[in-house]
Structure 1
Amino acid sequence: MADSSSVGDRPEAPSAGSTVPRHDQTFPVLTAAEIERIRRFGELRRYADGAHLFETGQPGPGMFVVLSGHVAITQHDGLGHVTPVAEQGPGQFLAEIGQLSGRVALVDGIAEGEVECLLIRPDRLRGLLVAEADLGERIMRALILRRVNLIQGGSGGPVLIGSANAYDAVRLMSFLTRNGWPHHLLDPATDHDAAELVARYSPAPHDLPLVVTPDGTVLRNPSEGELARAMRMNGHVDRSKLYDVAIVGSGPAGLATAVYAASEGLSVAVCDQRAFGGQAGASARIENYLGFPTGISGMALTARAYNQAQKFGADILIPTEVKALACGCDDGPFKLTLDDGGELRARAIVVASGARYRRPEIERLAEFEGRGVYYWASPIEARLCKQQDVILVGGGNSAGQAAVFLSGHAARVHMVVRAGGLAASMSRYLIERIESTPNIEPVFDTEVVALDGSADTGLTHATLRNRRSGEDCTIAVSNLFLFVGADPATGWLDGCGVTLDRAGFVITGAPSADEGQRPAQALETSVPGVFAVGDVRSGSVKRVGGAIGEGAQVVAALHSYLAG
């Protein structure tokens, strides 16, 4: 099914990405003096005509600085489609943000004629960014913009074959989007190649969507873990290494800990079971975070922190679930058991696993999760409810942000709140915005008690009950968004000795029951060397700013513990 474009016969590539927004920042040209400053970080390499400098799906060797010759950058997918990205020559560098940590390449780099270049490996690249501040800033900006352009370009990466409105397609697209991974979807009802692939594999309805990886492997409705393994999405973490600190969770608190700890010279490993950003990463807009007067999306804010952590050398393993914590091990003070059966050792642990979305007592709720019931509101979900009525349940800031965001897509947002108003649980600026948005309709003293629909149609109706009168009413609706708080993600701490409160949140700073043991520090748990920050910690503020502050604060405690 390859189209007429191939490596040997491809359309002419744009000149160094001439159609790319912010072109000069995305594809800067280094001066001779700047290349001389870079030389000490690299090693000289030569490539013959047609040779690959890097290949899609293979670990990227680092950043290349072209000294002579030209390199064609192309994207290809598993259907055989090849898309030109850029042609780069002397003075230009070849890399994107994934090369900071040696992740797999998302594009192909092919020598056109003889090519001589400098190869700067990931560890040396991170050293360059720190040592050469002004030059490092230009390079870092280009690396980030290139990944953004790859995502927005809609080509390369895995190809999903199925309906854009199907539950499992939405699930996988959301997973890839949250991880900043390029992908695109083809509907077999309208696309010839997609229809041909469906005819070849004859999938049953539950096999859709098919996912075609860049190497041509076809997956049938994979789990997120299966897709991640097939795409080699997991970053590199040295399993044989004893890290100074292992951080479980990569929300704002975990990422802040990683940035400050790694920048201060500690060896850092970070694990997260789904994506960076946590619940904050799914926020449509954060307007009360210091320094962003016009607001910033949770994805944009946490993506910056994720890139910053990589810049300072934190090893990040996503998606990987931590199953258990063992303390007092012979080969290291702490050991994390991972979902792939492997282990990770560290001298200290930071619990930043946050909280999981709370599931209220609603009849048939589990049946429609992902098939009309959602716990976040991203552009993917917003597209599903275009010009439709939706129900949003919740009265906190997250609910308010989601209601305002969805109001720009849905015909009407029925905002269902158990309480009699919003003032006790929501910031005033959000209340004013909701009051001034004509298609947001707050419904107070009310709760959703039942859902209706079928496996074929998904959610079709929701029953609401007035808590004062007890009267029920049923609304025809296909999308229900739940923002009713969260429960702590602490199951993996069972049996390790870390004390939890009655709600399951981690207690920190409590006096030790053991005589002679030093008092616990403010963010330290009942197990010395195990700390907790962010939403998972009992008594935390449950705000993005608070989580980031705790992530920075805990690093001082880590230094004190590790030096003791």
Structure 2
Amino acid sequence: MPEPRRPVLLAVDDDDHVLRAIRRDLSRAYRDRFRVLAAGSAAEGLRVLDTLREREEQAALVLSDQRMPGMTGIAFLAEAARRFPEARRVLLTAYADTSVAISAINEVRLDHYLVKPWEPPEERLYPVLDDLLSDWEGAHEPPYQGIRLVGHPFAPATHRLRDLLTRYRLPFRFEEGPAGEARLPAVVLPDGRRLDRPGHGEVVAALGLATRLSHPHYDLAIVGGGPAGLAASVYASSEGMATLLIEAYVPGGQAGTSSRIENYLGFPSGISGVDLTSRAMAQARRFGVDVLAPVEARRLSRDGRACVLHLSDGKEIGASTVLLSTGLSYRSLDADGAARFEGAGIYYGAAVTETESCAGRHVWIVGGANSAGQAALHFARHASRVTMVVRAAGLAGAMSAYLVDEIAAAPNITVRAGTRVVAAEGGEHLERITLCDVATGELSGHDAEHVFVFIGARPRTEWLDGLVRRDPHGFLLTGPDLGPAAELPAWDLPRPPLLLETSMPGVFAAGDARAGSVKRLASGVGEGAMAVSMIHRYRSES
């Protein structure tokens, strides 16, 4: 990340000799705290100030010579005050102009005047400027110098950028932009650059998070950066394999959206999904894993024994083996009008991202499995009320017992069992939902601005249709589930597929997208590790 710009000291004089001298003396004393700029005319000085204002930088002090062609120093300082009212203003004068400078103290709120020459600066320059700059620093509230996200609170594009920055653990401040502004959402970087309506790849590249490929050919290419993919990348790279991890969004998968994971081995106090996956990413990078994100795998082909992945950015990646750990996508809420409010009041697995906007509000959670329970407990610490809408008769059937107990003990969580959401209404954002009692069919309307949906998921495997075998629900079949090897059209090895090997030799699957997998974080990590041992066996046979 570029270092934020320091406040500016601007010196303006049409005499090159004087300008060089004042710039030299200012730099010698203040360059550690301020950025010193110089302009050879009043017009140039105004252009500098306009540029600083456009970049949302700060001018702390403006020094100007009085006698300049086109505009006097007093007139220039008056213009400077309109642009930066808080900046301290100093006039550089000859002895004959001191009466003019004294008058200007009252007329244009001049802070001080200096008679040229100011030698020695330790006696005649620095004491004056030290006091002025100390006053400015004492009265000035430094602007926020981190990443700023400017947008509309309920705009889907704003929500997606907020989620991206949150998942990358990048501190940022959200600012509501003016209604109707076509350039929003915008990301403003600490160095002043502004990205209007940026794509995720553009943001990642601008923040210096993009990775360059370090190998022309990889031993293992992993598609999907959830727990299974991250675990496989760590084990493979630590054992000397050239490893590439390809992730369509942000490494972490659905686990990365979890507000709190309390049943993962080794974390007795629990850990957030963002923290856990961030640690895994740091571990993978330490072992030399290359990471491409956000980039989608669009097609898989063969070149002899090698696999070729065709990516959304136009790259083609060659690898000896491929691990498919593409994970799952949340299922959409099947309710009238719901699609219109995705990212504008209805969210899928975005519990952490929208925490701030839900403080003190009524939050609705749709779903009754672990992800829904974790989200409900997370929001209960911030929202005034949390209501869980569960189609089943209760929570016990699909949710871990510890979550059921904690939800029952939370005073501001209500569970509406045997209920489903059937409609969503509103203007630019969600305002109301309609609930239906599953048993009686009775309908009831409720005000709702924040609805989080956790109602199951489907595997991200559509792009593999016709390439590797999937079950009727789209999950990847592996090992014995593929049936006899002789009936697999692409199978040309004398042995049957290994336990986690798909119908294409050298292509493996692990994690939630694999048919028959246990949909838990620990099992995904375990399958990622297991896959690496089978990949070693495959490579030893080739």
1:4 to 3, 7, 10: 7
Of 269, 288, 309, 1:313 maps to 288
Q: Secondary structure of the residue that 2:426 maps to in structure 1? A: strand
What does residue 466 of structure 1 align with? Answer: 437
Offset at 1:342? 1.1
- The answer to whether the Cα contact below 8 Å between 1:365 and 1:450 also exists between their aligned partners in 2 is yes
Aligned residue in 1 for 2:469: 499
Residue 177 of structure 1, CA deviation: 1.8
Aligned to 1:415: 388
Conserved in 2, the CA contact under 8 Å of 1:462 and 1:477?
A: yes
Aligned CA distance change for structure 1 residues 2 and 302 (closer, same or farther; 3 Å) = closer
Q: Displacement, 1:2?
A: 7.0
Asked if 1 retains the 8 angstrom alpha-carbon contact of 2:309 and 2:318, the reply is yes
Offset of residue 167 of structure 1: 4.3
CA distance in 2, matches of 1:186, 1:389: 22
| Distance across 2 between alignment mates of 1:236 and 1:155 | 31
Aligned twin of 1:209: 185
Q: Do the aligned partners of residues 188 and 476 (structure 1) sit closer, same or farther apart at CA in structure 2, a change above 3 Å counting?
A: closer
Counterpart AA for 1:159: R
Q: How many percent of aligned residue pairs carry the same amino acid? A: 43
Query: Any idea what SS the aligned residue of 2:353 has?
Result: helix
Partners of 1:156 and 1:243 in 2: CA distance: 40
Change beyond 3 A, Cα 1:245–1:156: farther
Q: What does residue range 90-169 of structure 1 map to in structure 2 within 5 Å?
A: 158-163=147-152, 166-169=155-158
Structure 1 residues 293, 230: closer, same or farther in 2, change over 3 A? closer
Shift in alpha-carbon separation, 1:264–1:272, aligned structure 2, 3 A = same
TM-score by length of 2: 0.71
Contact conserved, 2:155 with 2:343, CA < 8 A, in 1? no
User: SS at the partner of 1:289?
Assistant: coil
Q: How far apart are 1:80 and its partner, in Å? A: 4.0
Q: Is the 2:201–2:293 Cα contact (8 Å) retained in structure 1?
A: no
Q: Which of 433, 452, 455 is equivalent to 1:481? A: 452
User: Could you tell me how far apart the structure 2 residues matched to 1:81 and 1:553 are?
Assistant: 56
How far apart, CA to CA, are the structure 2 residues paired with 1:180 and 1:533? 26
Q: Counterpart of 1:480 in 2: which secondary structure?
A: strand
Q: Is 1:254 matched up with 2:229?
A: yes
Determine whether 1:436 maps to 2:412.
Answer: no
For 1:348, the equivalent position in structure 2 comes to 321
Q: Within the alignment, does 1:181 sit opposite 2:170 as a pair?
A: yes
1:292 to 2:263 alignment: no
Quick one: structure 1 residues 493 and 485, their matched pair in 2 at CA, closer, same or farther if it must change by over 3 Å?
same
Confirm or deny: 8 A CA contact 2:154 2:343 kept in the other structure.
no
Question: Cα distance 1:516–1:387, how it changes in 2: closer, same or farther (>3 A)?
Answer: closer
Which residue of structure 2 lines up, in the alignment, with residue 447 of structure 1?
420
Give unmatched runs, 5+ long, in structure 2.
10-25, 37-53, 60-141
| Partner Cα separation in structure 1 for residue 275 and residue 328 of structure 2 | 21
Distance 2:314 2:355 in 1: 37
Q: Which runs of 5+ in 1 are unaligned?
A: 14-49, 51-76, 83-152, 190-202
TM-score by length of 1: 0.69
- Matched with 2:14 is none
Indicate conservation of the 8 Å contact 1:165/1:384, yes or no.
no
- Work out whether 1:374 is the aligned partner of 2:347: yes
Deviation at 1:272, TM superposition (A): 0.3
Question: 1:222 aligned to 170, 182, 198, which one?
Answer: 198
Match status 1:237 vs 2:213: yes
2:517 aligns with one of 523, 540, 552: 540
Once the 2 structures are TM-superposed, how far is the Cα of residue 11 of structure 1 from its aligned partner? Answer: 6.3
Shift of 1:223: 2.6
Taking the aligned partners of 1:155 and 1:552, their CA distance within structure 2 comes to 43
- 2:361 is matched with 388
Residues 1:2 and 1:164: Cα distance change in structure 2 (over 3 Å): farther
Correspondence for 2:99 = none
Larger gyration radius, structure 1 or structure 2: 2
SS in 1 for 2:354: helix
**TM-aligned CA deviation for residue 158 of structure 1:** 4.1
For residues 333 and 380 of structure 1, the distance between their equivalents in structure 2, rounded to whole angstroms, comes to 40
1:78·1:212 contact (CA, 8 Å) conserved in 2? no
Change (3 A) 1:374 1:475: same
CA contact (8 A) 1:392 1:399 kept: yes
Alpha-carbon distance, 1:325 to partner: 1.0
Deviation at 1:173, TM superposition (A): 2.0
- Give the conservation status (yes or no) of the 8 Å contact 2:351–2:452: no
Report Cα offsets for 1:260-284 as digits up to 9, x if no partner.
0000111100010110110001101
Distance in 1 (CA, whole Å) between partners of 2:475 and 2:241 is: 27
Q: 1:216: Cα distance to partner? A: 4.2
Instruction: Verify the 8 A CA contact 2:359 2:382 in the aligned structure 1.
Output: yes
